[in-house]
Structure 1
Amino acid sequence: MSKLRCHISISLDGFVAGPNQSVESPLGEGGERLHDWVIPLAAWREAHGEQGGEENVSAQIVEEVRENIGAAVMGRNMFGPIGGGDWGDGEWKGWWGDNPPYHYPVYVVTHHRREPVEMAGGTTFHFVTDGIESALDQAKKAAGGMDVMLWGGGSIVEQYLAAGLLDELELHVVPLVLGDGARIFSADTKVRLEQVRAVEAPGVTHLKYRVLT
């Protein structure tokens, strides 16, 4: 049965991006440090068309994250540009260049209609204007029995958690205090989690949870 999974880096004080996100600083002030643990890994570099890289305990985690994914969902803020709005001249095609690292259909939740954007490597971005449930339904159909990955950002993860639609959540907890920014848990978030595992690695602790209904 297809599951909706999410894995996301998070600071010790609960932020998945820093304050003052912008086109120049999409992860906010200090937010890029949330990913210092993954960028040097060979598994990450391979997914982004690069060679070489490190092998450590986190490499197995990253490889597992990439397994059995047939489609994905993300929020408009993650696809960009920061601030949303209409699509203007239609030239914006995400942060990832001509060959995004997904290589499967990605459903972007937005308020603004847009025709699908086909990219190199098998990635096609579809723009969904009728809500998170519709985006998940479309992604599951496209995944053909494989899992769907919820890539973020913080607001869309919080929405799926609040709606009880997320099956697995893996937090990559980084020893960093950001002080402000984007969260996935708010005071109104009501969710029960069952811990599946905890893995200590250089610069990060991986905490995997099953989301209970």
Structure 2
Amino acid sequence: MSKLVVSTFTISLDGYAAGVGQRQDAPFGDGADHLHDWMTSTRAFHETHGLEGGVESPDDKWVRGAVGHFGATIMGRNMFSASRGPWEDLSWTGWWGDNPPYHNDVFVMTHHPRPSFELEGGNAFHFVDGSPAEVLELARAAAGGKDVHLAGGAATIRQYLAAGLVDDMRLAISPVLVGAGERLFDGLDTLPSAYRVAEQVSTAAATHVHIVRR
């Protein structure tokens, strides 16, 4: 069976994946402006997002591991949009432009489904109301035997960790302090008994941690 993988998900030194006050012009909220600097400066990030430039660094391999080999993606609604409740603007197709970096079927978890749509690069977005296990079943069916990428955000990853459905997790700890917002590990008291740290690598820009099932 394919694995459910959290890949290159970034948290701050004080454990936050996003700040407060998420909105369309601030997808990670306030106080998190530099959270992903370690990633966005790399050559790998520029390549995977169709951009020129970037600096070759030891962080490149961690960025490249996040894209390209997954068969489907799962994300929470807050990772797709800052809006809440019933959809008022169906023209919104995410923060990634016409060719998002996923290149597969993306299942957005929401209590307010909307019609699916397709973008360039094989990106197809589907909006589903279901339990973590039910959405994972849909994603695995679409993945064709490949692993499924659990992209985020923090609340969605927590749901899957609490349900014991995450097989593999690669985190980047960015050397910034956010102070308030959405923490990744809150309320997961059983995490130490279910998972272990398999690898830890520090670079000048971030600390990378690979977490696997026990």
Fold agreement, TM-score > 0.5? yes
The 3 A distance-change label for structure 1 pair 189 and 32 is: farther
Aligned match of 2:136: 136
- RMSD of the alignment, in Å? 1.4
Q: 1:176 to 1:35 in 2, by over 3 A?
A: same
Note the alpha carbon deviations across 1:127-149, whole angstroms, 9 max, x for none.
11122212111111111111111
Q: Which amino acid is 1:73 matched to?
A: I
Separation of aligned partners in 2, 1:98 and 1:44:
17
Q: Does 1:171 align with 2:171?
A: yes
Matched residue, 1:208: 210
Shift of 1:190: 2.2
Q: Post-superposition shift, 1:75? A: 0.1
Task: Indicate whether 1:194 and 2:196 are aligned.
Answer: yes
Partner of 1:76: 77
Deviations 1:87-137 (A, max 9, x none): 224111111111111111000000012111111111000111122212111
Matches of residues 1-213 of structure 1 in structure 2 within 5 Å? 1-7=1-7, 8-80=9-81, 82-191=82-191, 192-212=194-214
CA distance 1:89–1:26, shift in 2 (3 Å)? closer
Normalised TM-score (structure 1): 0.94
Provide the rounded CA distance (Å) in 1 between the counterparts of 2:12 and 2:57.
Answer: 21
TM-score, normalised to structure 2's length?
0.94
Cα distance change, pair 54–133 in 1 and its aligned pair in 2 (3 A): same
Unmatched segments (≥5 aa) in structure 1: none
Q: CA deviation at 1:43?
A: 1.0
Following the alignment from structure 1 to structure 2, what is the Cα–Cα distance between the partners of residues 44 and 54? Answer: 9
Paired with 1:72 and 1:188, the residues of 2 have a C-alpha distance of 23
Q: How many residues in Structure 1 have an aligned counterpart in Structure 2?
A: 211
SS in 2 for 1:72: strand
State the distance in 2 between where 1:186 and 1:159 align. 11
After TM superposition, give the deviation of residue 188 of structure 1 in Å.
4.6
User: Which whole-Å deviations, capped at 9, do the CAs of 1:145-172 have from their partners, x for residues lacking one?
Assistant: 1111111011101100101000111110
- Identical-pair percentage: 43
Q: Which blocks of at least 5 consecutive residues in structure 2 are unaligned?
A: none
Deviation (angstroms), 1:86? 1.3
